[in-house]
Amino acid sequence: MGKFAADAEQLLKLVGGKENISAVTHCMTRMRFVLTDPAKADVTAIEALPSVKGSFTQAGQFQVIIGNDVAEFFDEFTKVSGIEGVSKDAAKKAAKTNQTPIQRAMANLAEIFAPLIPALIVGGLILGFRSFIGEVNLFADGTQSLADTSQFWAGMYDFLWLIGEAVFHFLPVAICWSVVKKMGGTEVLGIILGVCLVSPQLLNAYSVATATDIPVWDFGFFTVEKIGYQAQVIPAMLAAFVLVYLERFFKKITPEYISMIVVPFFSLVLSVIIAHTVVGPIGWRIGDAISNVVYAGLTGNLRWIFAPIFGFLYAPLVITGLHHMTNAIDTTLANQFEGTMLWPMIALSNIAQASAVLAMIVLQKNERDRQVSIPACISGYMGVTEPALFGVNLKAGFPFVCGMIGSAIAATISVGSSVMAFSVGVGGLPGFLSIMPQYWLPFFISMGVAIVVPFVLTLIVGKKKGVH
């Protein structure tokens, strides 16, 4: 019998038994259950188990924090329960039965953007490094950049644009692929559709506003403008959805023996036509409208209201899953205005919640509690706040609010100083790597506030409440 067998057997009973488990999997530190009736789980008794360091519910999944031994615990659990584990994707799919329509929509949006985030982070870092070596004048009394003083760095400045352009200008290719993959369509058709939105034969999206003569496809009795959708998010998403539903439609009505020819041909050709005539222009206008409203809120007279509200409410958005919509807004802002003021506030919110956990670590004397708090704090400072939010701050309540207050103050300083990031990037403490170099100083000041204010407030309130 393994060392976790007894706790695994108890956990099976406390979550409502085998019949109450729709699916189970695990991640790096947590068991993830999709329960038929979440109310049957005895949370208090579960958290009292020696192997368990806490629990929380998110996105329809009841998650039990085990720690670094979770893989071994999972093996013991599957043995005593007789339940086969499923993949994370299968668990997510099952969990959606416990979600509201809004939660399902946000989960789908998250699953579309999650595969893109590593590329966006890399792209933001590359643009930051490129800007530092080619556009920040640190030499010859502030008249020359590093690229001006060295042929190597000049070459590097040009070379890095190859990757930066691939990430951002050709982003619709990745978006179309991700949407089609998520919706169960033919992925290669999604890639081709994305290429058809950014083809070199199209007028570059960045040149449309200044173009005096827009090229067209002339079909005799009507014409279609040859406009590209480089870096456009919403047009690419809408076009990909069109492709997915067309493919599903043609699969239903096409005999199997000609399906391989008919379905991809008509799905792709029609989706490209619809993309360039209907959903592309509509999506462009929607994206522009959203980004213009957000940009006005960040730069206009109302920014002193917008910034603290966003900074205060971002952490609660994470709890609901609504924060995933900021990825699309951030990307659109970065492409339309060559930078985003939204992402710095997100990074600061991560830091603020992690700092509240840091104060809890100082207050806590119970080693069991610290085993949850320490990794949650580290994760939060690296930009992943869910363990901090669900494992520590929300349970105590006041650290969560203290983090929100610190985030609001830091966001106000950041927006008031016009701090701008190149794009979605690294969160938490490494967030400065995505910030434009000219804004590093005010961002570091904002970062200091996001560290100190939640830490001090949490310490004060915690001591008054007798936390130990």
Active site residue 377: no
Rounded to the nearest 5°, which phi and psi values hold at 331? Answer: -65, -40
CA neighbours within 13 Å on the CB side: how many for 417?
23
Q: Tell me how far apart the alpha carbons of residues 346 and 314 are, in angstroms, rounded to a whole number.
A: 7
Q: Which two tokens stand for residue 116?
A: 């893109």
What single-letter DSSP state applies at residue 144? B
Residue 33: name the closest of 41, 43, 23 by CA: 23
Give the C-alpha distances (Å, rounded to integers) separating 359 from 54, 381, 459, 462.
18, 13, 6, 9
Residue 140: how many other CB atoms lie within 10 Å? 10
Check 27, 176, 196, 402 and give the catalytic one: 27
Three-class SS state of 15: coil
Q: At what angle do helices 325-337 and 234-253 cross, to 10 degrees?
A: 130
Q: Which two tokens stand for residue 427?
A: 């969160």
Q: Tell me how far apart the alpha carbons of residues 308 and 302 are, in angstroms, rounded to a whole number.
A: 11
Radius of gyration of the chain (CA): 25
Residue 375: name the closest of 384, 366, 362, 363 by CA: 384
Residue 94: name the closest of 59, 65, 70, 64 by CA: 59
Residue 339: name the closest of 436, 432, 222 by CA: 436
Residue 340: name the closest of 422, 239, 251, 236 by CA: 422
CB 314 within 8 A of CB 346: yes
Q: Tell me how far apart the alpha carbons of residues 175 and 328 are, in angstroms, rounded to a whole number.
A: 10
CB 180 within 8 A of CB 190: yes
Residue showing tokens 């929607």? 286
Residue 320: how many other CB atoms lie within 10 Å? 14
Write the DSSP assignment of 363-390 as a string of letters. Answer: H---HHHHHHHHHHHHHHHTT--HHHII
Q: Tell me how far apart the alpha carbons of residues 414 and 381 are, in angstroms, rounded to a whole number.
A: 18
Write the DSSP assignment of 205-235 as a string of letters. Answer: GGGTTT-SS--EEE-SS-EEE-B--TT-SHH
Q: Which two tokens stand for residue 387?
A: 């363990």
Catalytic residues: 27
